[in-house]
Amino acid sequence: MEKSHGLKHFFQACRYSADGLRYAIREAAFRQELIIGVITVPLAWILPVPVVMSLLLTLAWLGLLVVEILNTAIEAVVDLASPERHPLAKQAKDLASAAVTIAIVANILAWATAICQCLQRSL
């Protein structure tokens, strides 16, 4: 298969990305994280915190979405490669799940920091 170049390549890449987002939206965890972002991202920009903190909160949420998509991709590949139970398949899925958990913890820490800053300013 010949690789496309230029604008054709750009539009194909956009189509592949849109397909990926359509797959991701089918995942309950991804939908839940999207809803969290719809609430928290505007809040991050309304809070009386420095712009850098608002940006950090937004980037932390986007990072969580990225990790969730990669987790879903790893699960799909593992299911294709090893439909039966295998210790390495479990390890791969568990590691991807751990990455999501770490991204969630990073978001919690970022929000805790932002809330502490808000409370300090109000005292």
Q: What is the pLDDT along the chain (123 residues), one digit of tens a residue?
A: 678 888 999 999 999 999 999 999 999 999 999 999 999 999 999 999 999 999 999 999 999 999 999 999 999 999 999 989 999 999 999 999 999 999 999 999 999 999 999 998 887
- Distance spanning both ends of the chain, measured CA to CA: 64
Taking phi over 0 as left and psi of -120 to 50 as alpha, with beta for the rest, 32 belongs to alpha
Q: Residue 112's domain is classified under what CATH number? A: 1.10.287.3610
Catalytic residues: 68
Q: How many domains does the chain have?
A: 1
Q: Determine, yes or no, domain membership for 5.
A: no
| Host domain of residue 95 | 27-122
| Alpha-carbon span 31 to 35, nearest angstrom | 6
The pLDDT assigned to 80 comes to 96
Q: Determine, yes or no, domain membership for 69.
A: yes
Q: Determine, yes or no, domain membership for 72.
A: yes
Q: Determine, yes or no, domain membership for 6.
A: no
Closest CA to 72 of 14, 19, 10: 19
Cα dihedral 19, 20, 26, 32 in deg (nearest 10): -130
